[in-house]
Amino acid sequence: MTPFYQLTATRLRGQPLSMADYAGKVVLVVNTASHCGFTPQYAGLEALYKKYAAQGLVVLGFPCNQFGKQEPGGADEIEQTCHVNYGVSFPMFEKVDVNGPPHTRCFVI
């Protein structure tokens, strides 16, 4: 298994990002969806991020459509939900699979 800080992931708009950028920080990796009962938790995640970012907390959002097809949209729709509707400023990544192969390595324990 590859150590977390050696992984890379792709941001919502296609830019690669190395998890090494977050070495020494507390990283909260979150599986997200824009069309589920938990979508309003974006506001709470953003509040947590803003409150503790200066102390080293980073929230990383990974949209996933595997659970009830609750993230059917593309980058534009995800961005609308996150940034416009909930004011999310923490890093969001492209839609990923988190359950079973081929899953995103950030979700492998």
Catalytic residue numbers read 36
Token pair listed for 27: 């990283």
The single-letter code of the amino acid at 24 is G
Which are the contacts of 14, defined by CB distance < 8 A and separation ≥ 6? 94
Pairing of strands 8-10, 16-18: antiparallel
Helix (H) or strand (E) run with residue 107 in it: none
Q: Cis before residue 102, ω within 30 degrees of 0?
A: yes
